[in-house]
Amino acid sequence: MATLTMPSPPPFEKPQSRPSADLQSLITEKPNEASAGLDTKSAIEIARIINHDDTKVAAAVKKALPEIAMVIDTVARSLRDGGRLIYVGAGSSGRIAALDASECPPTFSTAPSQVQYIMAGGPKALASASDVNEDSPELGQRDIARRRPTRKDIVIGISASGRTPYVVGATEYARSRGAKTAAITCNPNSDLSQVADVTICAEVGPEVLSGSTRMKASTAQKMILNMITTGAMTRLGYVYENLMVNVHMKNAKLVERGISVLMKLCDIDRETAIRTIKSAGKSIPIAVVMLKANVDKMEAVRRLQKSDGNVRLAIDDSRLEL
C-alpha cells in the first residue's frame, strides 16, 4: 500500500508570522470574466453561468488524483492501526469537513472518534459565522492540541485560499507531534502546503461571485473528501463490491438499505434477508459472511475479527492465512 513518506517531525515552535500571499493575487479571489455583469442577468442566465462554471470542478479535481490516492491509502493505514482522521477547517471548508466526518458512522459504522473535525469557532460556527477565529494560528494550535495528535493519526487541513492562519497553525502543530498531514486547497504554493506532507490542490479558478469560495472551491473540497473517506473505507474492506455492507441500521431508511444490500449480494428473498439479519444481531457484515461463506454467526464473527472487519477477506478465510 502506498503511503506518505514521512520526514522526522520538526521540534514545535510557535509559528512565526510568515509572509502570506496578497489576497487579491489568489486565483480564487480574482474576478471571473464569465460572470461580468452578473447583477444585470435574468434568473435563467445566472443559473446557466453558474452551471457552466461548475463544469470546471471535476476536471480540476482529476488533476489531483495521484495526491488524493496517496491520502486515501494513508487514511486507511492510520485507521487500521488504531489512529484517527482529523479534519481542520474554517468557514465553508470547516462545514464541509464536519459534514463528511458526521456521515462516516452511519455509512460505514465507524466510531465517531475515528473521523473527527475541528472548526474555527467550534461547533456553533456550523450554523453561525465565527470568521474572526480563523485569523488565529494560536487558536488552531490550541484546538488540535486538545485532540493530542500522534504518529498514528492523519490531520488534513482544508482551506480554499491555503492561507487561513487557524488551519495552518493546527496542521503545523499536528506535524510537529508526528502526525501525518495533508492539505486540501485551491491555490498552488500556499502557506498550508508548506506545513503539510502532501498537498491536494484543485485549481478551480475564479468564482462566479468573486471570492465566494463556498461555490466551486467548496464543491471541489466536498468531492475530494468524498473520495478520501469512501476510498479509505473501501480499502479497509468496509465496502463489498460497491455496496454499503457496513451500513449502520439506526432508522427505517437504513434498515431498508441493509435488507436491500443483503438481498442483492446474496441473491435471496426479503424474508430470508430479514431472518438472517436478525440471527446476525442486526449486523450486515456478519450476515453477509454467514451466507457467502455458509458459516454460523460465531464463525462469521471470528473471521471478521481476524480480518479487521474486511468483509471480502472474511468470506475467503484462506486469504487470512497469507
Question: Could you give the residue numbers annotated as active site?
Answer: 103, 134
Burial-class residue 148 by CB neighbours within 10 Å (0-12, 13-18, 19+).
exposed
Q: Which residue has the cell 485549481?
A: 203
C-alpha cell at 209: 461571485
Burial-class residue 79 by CB neighbours within 10 Å (0-12, 13-18, 19+).
buried
- Sequential DSSP letters for 181-203: EEEEESSSS-HHHHTSSEEEE--
Using the Cα atoms of residue 182, residue 183, residue 189 and residue 194 in order, give the sign of their dihedral. negative
CB 209 within 8 A of CB 178: no
CB 228 within 8 A of CB 77: no
Q: Which residue has the cell 471571473?
A: 32
Nearest alpha-carbon partner for 265 in 252, 253, 254, 276? 276
